[in-house]
A and B are shown apart, each in its own frame.
Chain A
Amino acid sequence: MIRRLRKTTTLCALLLSGMGMLCLWKEAPPTDLSGASLAKSIFLKQAAFLAVGTAALGLSVLPNYQHYRRWAWGPYLVLLGALAGLLLAGRFTRGARGWYALGPVHLQPAEFMKVALVLVLARLLMHGRNLDRWRGLVPPILATALPAALILLQPDLGTAILFIPTLLAMLYAAGSRKRHLAAIVLALAAAAPVGYLFFLKEYQRLRLASFLHPDTIPAYQQKQSVMACASGGLTGRGLGEGGAHLPFYVPDRHTDFVFSIVCEEMGFAGATFVLLLFAVFFSESLQTAYRTREPFGRLIVVGLTTLLVTQSLINLGMTLGVAPITGLTLPFVSYGGSSLLTCMVSTGLILNVAGRWQPGFSKNDLVGGSVEIREFRPPARDWQAH
């Protein structure tokens, strides 16, 4: 059994989801074409996903994460197939083929791919094999590029871009050379203009351009969002007192721009509280990574945390008008089943690593000779449990 559950991390995750539910409850969410409010159905859907997500969190905590090492490729390959299937047979909704519709629920394989990719990368990098040579970098880069390309074709630029910092952070934590990482970053920077010109869709280019030149091209959504955030002041307008009942006040507030609700209705205090929750969550998990000596677990934590941090930063920056619109959700808080479920499973994995004692050593330990390597004997309590 798990030795101990990190209470702070769990609490942060649940509090953040709770904030999301609060925003959904108090906001007037969208109406359908006939004008009937979707408030109830959306709230109930999210509540159901929160329940499922909490259960998934529990489930992903329970088995020793070392078991995931053996099965790491399974979900990755299945999801790769699902992504390819979307491109072949997916229906276009809102200009992208990113959904599998199962009754009222829309599942996004790209969301789940994030976790699967981190597991696979951790599996590839855990032994640090050939990491000081280019040859060793090829498998992880390929494993990342393949799903990233499939997601890019949907097209979902935001999610695909998240994979880059995740890969870099995991490579860095696994101990690859800084030279190599710098070379990868440079290559990506050089490829960016080419991608901008040839691979981005017109609307994606427009979003970037409107961010860089806010005066020339209207970025209505973002402008409204910044205005709404600013109008919150210190303590906010009060729950449910925001302007969201006005149509197209900040479009799609409950999904991508959910933080503008927090800012407007709960003000600086509420927004700072959310940022604080994120900060605590992230620093707790990175501490876990620091403490864990076992490489697979550490890499999982580093990868998942980097994913969540990058996604949060991009989303918050977009809401506050300091990053371009990418269509990424705010982890835990935004409305969206797949997103919430992924966040919960990620939390579960981080807690799983944090709560276990693992025998492990790193290359440095061997070189330095600071650790005496003894025969592995499982701790007594675990032993008795069997």
Chain B
Amino acid sequence: MDRSRVLVLTGILLAPLAGLEARLVQIQLAAPRAFTGDLLTKSRSLHLVTPLRGRILDARGRVLAEDRRSFDAYLVLEEYEQSPGPLADLLGMTPEELRGEIERIYEKIEKQVLRRPPAERRRLYRRERRTPYLLRRDVPLEAALALETHPERCPGVVIRESLRRSYPWIPDSYRRVFPRSLPGSHLLGYLGRVTSDEEEFRSLLQNGVLTEGFEEVIGQDGIAQLYRRGAFHEQLIGRAGLERRYDDLLRGKPGILILERQPGTAEKRLIEIKAAEAGRDTELTLDIELQAKVEEILAGPNPASAVVMDPHTGALRAVASNRGFDPNDFVPPGNPTAVREALADRLGQPLLGRAFARHYQLGSIFKLATSAAGLELGKVRADEFLPCRGKFLEHSRFFACHVWNNFRQMHGELSLSEALERSCNNYFYEVGRRVGLERLSEWAAALGLGAPTGVDLPGEAPGTLPRKSRQANDVLSLAIGQHELMVTPIQVAVLVSVFANGGLRVTPHLRKEAAPAPRPAGLSAATIAAVRKGLEAVVQSPHGTAHGSGLPEFRAAGKTSTAQAGGERTHAWFAGYAPSDRPRHTVVVLVENGGHGGDVAAPLAARILKALRETAPP
């Protein structure tokens, strides 16, 4: 080892210290004027720059949600109170509303002032009274113009431009059917104040979600000041639907402005120290035109929902519910009256996305799962004939075929496809008894029932699937889709798609890029072929339960269901796909307490297929 090398290192390492000393001489002694600004004399305030929120686009690029420029009115209390102008009139508020808003500003100021030591309070109070506070969002253009061009009419009001979330896509025909709602409202969701959930707000702040990248620029001090001034409290975040689900994508990152002022002069300087980053656009698989048409088709006295999906990928084309709302009313400041009405409507529950957020009794469509389980486990063969003698249990009032209950008739000997075609209960009672409840429920779960499908919508209902048999006859009820089974229409869409696409279980999704790969459900080709033969017969055969519904025209296949729901009337279901030889669309329709599936739901499905043909020509 060479000692002289340490000397060389000493030279290399210590020389730059001399350079730093030279720099000190330069900036502190030689020419301090060139480097010092008027650091201490200027007053600075921090401002958040709200980023442009990403748009939500449908499959054909139509804008479903976007940020629009709007005007907000801010009030400087001191100036306003010296000579109050006709502010209420200009802003279209009642004098009481205006007084309430001013009262709220005073509360905000007091809250801030009380946090500081008593000695500073007087000064701070006076300062805050000279600071503009938000009075009203989204002022009409005319009012904003009037206030901007004639500031002397109404001193103390400041108009600032801001961004307002709006949901613009409403066709006129839709408006006529649903005056107070918007197509796909449950899917889009809406924004809400970040403070409306205090706990979530805390955790967002703690985890730095709201202040990403701020600390490097303005430090903890700066963040604390922004917080004290309520800058984060005004932020809006997704509160429901896709706005919530993809909030982190859509939101973007806020920027920071510093406003420098020389006290006593009007000189102002804006320094952008962190640029706002716009949120990303989100493209959906949804076809909004189809969605609107489907909702119109479903319109009626009974709550109804429908799902249209690509059976091969799980891409959702429409997820409709015939009770909706207008998200424009919900984004603050919104329309409180409309919001209150929507919340008060206990019967219609317009805020509920019925196709995914609520579960229902399924009924006969479950026979698809029963068939699959029976065939896969070898408990029944597709060409095996099982008898239908009307009643299934000799000494029970229950467990009989619907032809027995309604007409005291029986189906006789049936093969699987005939049993599906006529929806014979006794056939499936027998298959269910052979399979057993545990195995049946395992197969139902494998086909997507009784558990969340993983659709990218918040608030998906899980449904229920009985796993253990408590009484001997439980399995009979389950085999025809009654018992404790509860499913969502979107789960049914997954179930039918397994047969439509040749055995793959898809994950329904709305965002184009979020397309999880389908997984094999574990069905053999023979099973699928046998069930599909039955589903085609349901529509095509003259005895089929959906034959008279207009569906044969679309070469559809599917299954109807008339599910006892505890109420006076049964739920009417139809679930199927079209065309039957090369399926392109899965359609599920549910009319709550609507009556017979074949009479009520299947014709609606036919109309949806017609709408599909019009909007998406093959």
Q: Contact: A220 with B6, CB < 8 Å?
A: no
B residues within 8 A CB of A313?
16-17, 20
With beta carbons under 8 angstroms apart, the residue of B116, B208, B215 that contacts A252 is: B215
Instruction: With both chains docked as a complex, state the minimum distance between the C-beta of A98 and any C-beta of chain B, in angstroms.
Output: 14
B44 within 8 A of A: yes
B residues within 8 A CB of A310?
13
Question: Given A169-B9, A283-B10, is A33 in contact with B216 using a C-beta cutoff of 8 Å?
Answer: no
A 208-240 to B, binary, CB cutoff 8 A, 1 in contact else 0: 000000000010110010111111111000000
Report how far A22 CA is from B89 CA in the complex, Å: 59
Q: Contact: A298 with B1, CB < 8 Å?
A: yes
A287 to chain B: closest residue by CB: B10
Report how far A175 CA is from B223 CA in the complex, Å: 51
Report how far A94 CA is from B35 CA in the complex, Å: 30
Instruction: With both chains docked as a complex, state the minimum distance between the C-beta of B518 and any C-beta of chain A, in angstroms.
Output: 30
Q: Contact: B217 with A220, CB < 8 Å?
A: yes
A48 within 8 A of B: no
Q: Contact: B272 with A231, CB < 8 Å?
A: no
Stretch binding the partner chain, chosen from B26-34, B95-103, B532-540: B26-34
With beta carbons under 8 angstroms apart, the residue of B9, B27, B29, B273 that contacts A173 is: B9
A residues within 8 A CB of B20?
275, 313, 316-317, 320, 322
Question: Given A94-B216, A174-B1, is A248 in contact with B29 using a C-beta cutoff of 8 Å?
Answer: no
A199 within 8 A of B: no
Instruction: With both chains docked as a complex, state the minimum distance between the C-beta of B574 and any C-beta of chain A, in angstroms.
Output: 48
A232 to chain B: closest residue by CB: B28
Q: Contact: B216 with A203, CB < 8 Å?
A: yes
Q: Contact: B9 with A233, CB < 8 Å?
A: no
B141 within 8 A of A: no
Q: Contact: B218 with A251, CB < 8 Å?
A: yes
* B37, B116, B221, B273: residue with the most chain A Cβ atoms closer than 10 Å: B221
* A128, A173, A251: residue with the most chain B Cβ atoms closer than 10 Å: A251
A residues within 8 A CB of B34?
230
Q: Contact: B36 with A227, CB < 8 Å?
A: yes
Report how far A268 CA is from B218 CA in the complex, Å: 26
Report how far A14 CA is from B225 CA in the complex, Å: 35
B93 within 8 A of A: no
A352 within 8 A of B: no
B205 within 8 A of A: yes
A94-123 contacts to B, CB under 8 A, are 94-95
Stretch binding the partner chain, chosen from A51-59, A301-309, A336-344: A301-309
B378 within 8 A of A: no
Q: Contact: A286 with B215, CB < 8 Å?
A: no
Q: Contact: A30 with B10, CB < 8 Å?
A: no
Q: Contact: B28 with A30, CB < 8 Å?
A: no
A149-194 contacts to B, CB under 8 A, are 169, 172-175
B23 within 8 A of A: yes
Question: Given A220-B258, A227-B36, A289-B6, is A248 in contact with B17 using a C-beta cutoff of 8 Å?
Answer: no
B25 within 8 A of A: yes
B346 within 8 A of A: no
B315-366 contacts to A, CB under 8 A, are none
Q: Contact: B217 with A221, CB < 8 Å?
A: yes
A residues within 8 A CB of B27?
226, 229-230, 320-321
Report how far A249 CA is from B42 CA in the complex, Å: 11
B398 within 8 A of A: no
Q: Contact: B3 with A290, CB < 8 Å?
A: yes
A384 within 8 A of B: no
Q: Contact: B1 with A286, CB < 8 Å?
A: no
Q: Contact: B221 with A251, CB < 8 Å?
A: yes
Q: Contact: B208 with A30, CB < 8 Å?
A: no
Question: Given A33-B205, A234-B29, is A246 in contact with B40 using a C-beta cutoff of 8 Å?
Answer: yes
Q: Contact: B29 with A252, CB < 8 Å?
A: no
B24 within 8 A of A: yes
Q: Contact: B9 with A322, CB < 8 Å?
A: no
A229 to chain B: closest residue by CB: B27
Report how far A322 CA is from B20 CA in the complex, Å: 9
Q: Contact: B6 with A322, CB < 8 Å?
A: no
Report how far A35 CA is from B227 CA in the complex, Å: 9
Report how far A334 CA is from B221 CA in the complex, Å: 17
A 74-109 to B, binary, CB cutoff 8 A, 1 in contact else 0: 000000000000000000011100000000000000
B393 within 8 A of A: no
B86 within 8 A of A: no
A residues within 8 A CB of B224?
30-35, 247
Instruction: With both chains docked as a complex, state the minimum distance between the C-beta of B229 and any C-beta of chain A, in angstroms.
Output: 11
B residues within 8 A CB of A33?
205, 223-224, 227-228
> Top 7 closest A-B pairs, CB basis?
A251-B219, A230-B35, A30-B220, A248-B222, A362-B1, A220-B273, A230-B27
With A227-B36, A248-B44, A263-B28 given, name 5 new contacts (CB 8 A).
Answer: A31-B221, A35-B224, A95-B216, A253-B219, A283-B14
Chain B interface (Cβ within 8 Å of chain A)? 1-3, 5-10, 13-14, 16-17, 19-21, 23-25, 27-29, 32, 34-37, 39-40, 44, 46, 115-116, 205, 208, 212-213, 215-225, 227-228, 258, 271-273
Chain A interface (Cβ within 8 Å of chain B)? 30-35, 38, 93-95, 128, 169, 172-175, 203, 218, 220-221, 224, 226-234, 243, 246-249, 251-253, 263, 267-268, 271-272, 275, 278-279, 282-283, 286, 289-290, 295, 298, 302, 305-306, 309-310, 313, 316-317, 320-322, 327, 362-364
- Provide 5 A-B residue pairs closer than 8 Å at the C-beta atoms, listed in order of the A residue: A33-B223, A173-B9, A228-B39, A230-B35, A275-B17
